[in-house]
Amino acid sequence: MKYVVFLRGINIGLKKRVPMEDLRQLFEGMGYSEVRTILNSGNVIFKSGKEDEEVLQNKIENALEKRFGFEVRVVIRTRDEVQNLLKIDPFKDIEITKDTRLYITFLSEGISLTRDSVQEMAGEFVKIVRFTNREICSAIMITPDKNTVDLMGFLEKLFGQNITTRNWNTIFKIMNVSDN
């Protein structure tokens, strides 16, 4: 089975540096095959036998901390789950301008909030276009007083540290690599 692992909060500035080659070698050393890293933001595709997601998450997080010396949270999806997001195309009804940003926030734990309650808290700055217990698809319009950092702060305030967010274009790149 193919998995996609999204590492949270690495390679931002000079903190929590994780070279992609070292990351690839770590996964291979854990016995996974067809390991590919995509972009410097910490996206890994690999093949393994079917594993319990929580067990796999703990195994990878422990290995990352042991290898790099700091805690790294991860969110795991099967390749099929990520591919399904592309098929659904949650942003198909969003008018895209030069100031539009599209994001997928992957959740590692279920949530008790509803789409409407999150949309109400977000206000007009964020449009929640898809909301499940596994991901939130958001569209924002960059303005002089609101930007991507504001979205990340809002999401972390609501859902804590057990999330990670990727730009929609990054999801396309990940799936393109996984197809090769």
CATH code, 33: 3.30.70.1280
* 176: in domain: no
pLDDT, tens digit (0-9, with 9 covering 90-100), for 122-132: 888 889 999 88
* 135: in domain: yes
- Retrieve residue 12's tokens: 């931002």
* 180: in domain: no
Report the DSSP beta bridge partners of residue 89.
none
Where in the sequence is the domain holding 41, given as residue range(s)? Answer: 2-81
**In this model, does residue 43 exceed pLDDT 70?**
yes
Percent of the chain with pLDDT over 70: 97
pLDDT value of position 113: 81
pLDDT, tens digit (0-9, with 9 covering 90-100), for 60-99: 999 999 999 999 999 999 999 999 999 999 999 999 999 9
Domain stops at, among 35, 60, 81: 81
**In this model, does residue 148 exceed pLDDT 90?**
no
Average the pLDDT over 116-120 and give the result: 86
* 177: in domain: no
Domain stops at, among 81, 106, 138: 81
Residue 115: pLDDT band (50, 70, 90) is: confident
* 172: in domain: no
CATH number at residue 137: 3.30.70
**In this model, does residue 15 exceed pLDDT 70?**
yes
| Residue owning tokens 């994001």 | 103
Can you give the three-state secondary structure of the chain, one letter per residue? CEEEEEECCCCECCECCCCHHHHHHHHHHCCCEEEEEECCCCEEEEECCCCCHHHHHHHHHHHHHHHHCCCCCEEEEEHHHHHHHHHHCCCCCCCCCCCEEEEEEEECCCCCCCHHHHHHHHHHHEEEEEECCCEEEEEEECECCECHHHHHHHHHHHHCCCEEEEEHHHHHHHHHHHHC
In this structure, the answer to whether residues 98 and 72 fall within a common structural domain is no
In this structure, the answer to whether residues 97 and 66 fall within a common structural domain is no
pLDDT value of position 90: 96
In this structure, the answer to whether residues 64 and 97 fall within a common structural domain is no
pTM: 0.90
**In this model, does residue 41 exceed pLDDT 90?**
no
Domain stops at, among 81, 97, 128: 81
Distance, CA of 46 to chain centre: 15
Mention every residue, 6+ apart, whose C-beta is less than 8 A from residue 8. Answer: 42, 72, 73, 74, 75, 161, 163, 164
Helix pair 79-88, 168-179: axis angle to 10 deg: 120
Cα separation, 60 vs 10, in Å, equals 15
Q: Please give the tally of structural domains in the chain.
A: 2
* 173: in domain: no
Contact call for residues 37 and 17 (beta carbons, < 8 A):
no
In this structure, the answer to whether residues 121 and 98 fall within a common structural domain is yes
In this structure, the answer to whether residues 98 and 127 fall within a common structural domain is yes
pLDDT value of position 180: 64
